[in-house]
């Protein structure tokens, strides 16, 4: 049996089902809808509106299908703000699988197909220029095995599998690593709103907000480093 199966979520966009974990890469209520709301609107757009930055450094935990990266690239082109995007993924999907996903046709912006292919086919472990305002470094590593320089990132997309499926990704030692890597004023966003996560982030000194979730989910979390 194939470990990954393509499914269609409620907004018509694809996701992947990991049949080993019985867990989807995105919300079944809408993959594009969830990414747009959690990571772009309440993460990237919020940070830009608050700080009017000249450039942005993003750390994503869980490259997955590359949807968050593609939508962030789209935003960087629209906003004309350089973005340095670092993403971690232990089990990358193949470019053949990526090309079966329908994000390019649904997002429908200029050269989206070219960008999406380059995001997936580009080398790991080195920074790649996708477009004049978008630079990506893909790291095939567990977060537990990597050390980030302190105060490196403006924005964190935390998009690991759910705590019930990957509890080790949500433990305090991981959140401590994230907090150290955040610049003062940096923003952390995730689709998850578990009480333990919020307590841990508060213990680390972050200002934690529980926001309404995307369609199909009651809540999400945003946290800011003071």
SS (H, E, C) 145-161: HCCCCCCCEEEEEECCC
Sheet holding 127-131, edge to edge: 127-131, 134-139, 83-88, 56-61, 153-158, 182-190, 219-225, 206-212
Per-domain residue ranges of the chain: 30-225
Whether residue 191 has pLDDT greater than 80: yes
Which pLDDT score, from 0 to 100, does residue 19 have?
95
Q: What is the pLDDT of residue 5?
A: 97
Regarding the domain delimited by 30-225, which CATH topology (the fold level of the hierarchy) does it fall under? Rossmann fold (3.40.50)
3-state SS, residue 110: coil
* pLDDT tens digits, one per residue of 74-89: 999 999 999 999 999 9
| Nearest-angstrom CA–CA distance, 110 and 194 | 38
As given in the structure block, the two tokens for residue 46 are 């919020």
Mean per-residue pLDDT for 211-222?
A: 97
Instruction: Look at residue 2 in the predicted model and tell me its pLDDT.
Output: 73
């Amino acid at each position: 049996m194939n470990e990954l199966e393509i499914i269609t979520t409620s907004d018509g966009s694809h996701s992947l089902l990991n049949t080993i974990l019985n867990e989807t890469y995105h919300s079944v209520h809408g993959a594009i809808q969830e990414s747009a709301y959690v990571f772009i609107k309440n993460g990237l757009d919020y940070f830009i509106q608050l700080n009017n930055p000249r450039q942005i450094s993003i750390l994503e935990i869980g490259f997955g299908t590359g949807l968050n990266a593609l939508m962030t690239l789209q935003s960087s082109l629209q906003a004309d703000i350089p973005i340095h995007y670092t993403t971690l993924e232990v089990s990358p999907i193949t470019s053949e699988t990526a090309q079966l996903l329908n994000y390019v046709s649904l997002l429908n912006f200029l050269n989206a197909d070219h960008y999406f292919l380059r995001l997936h086919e580009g080398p790991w472990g080195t920074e790649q220029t996708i477009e004049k305002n978008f630079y990506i470094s893909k790291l095939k590593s567990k977060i537990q095995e990597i050390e980030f320089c302190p105060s490196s990132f403006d924005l964190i997309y935390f998009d690991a599998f759910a705590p019930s499926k990957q509890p080790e990704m949500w433990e305090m030692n991981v959140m401590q690593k994230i907090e150290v890597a955040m610049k003062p004023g940096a923003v952390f966003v995730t689709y998850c709103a578990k009480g333990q996560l919020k307590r841990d982030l508060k213990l680390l000194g972050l200002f934690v907000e529980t926001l309404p979730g995307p369609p199909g989910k009651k809540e999400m979390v945003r946290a800011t480093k003071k």
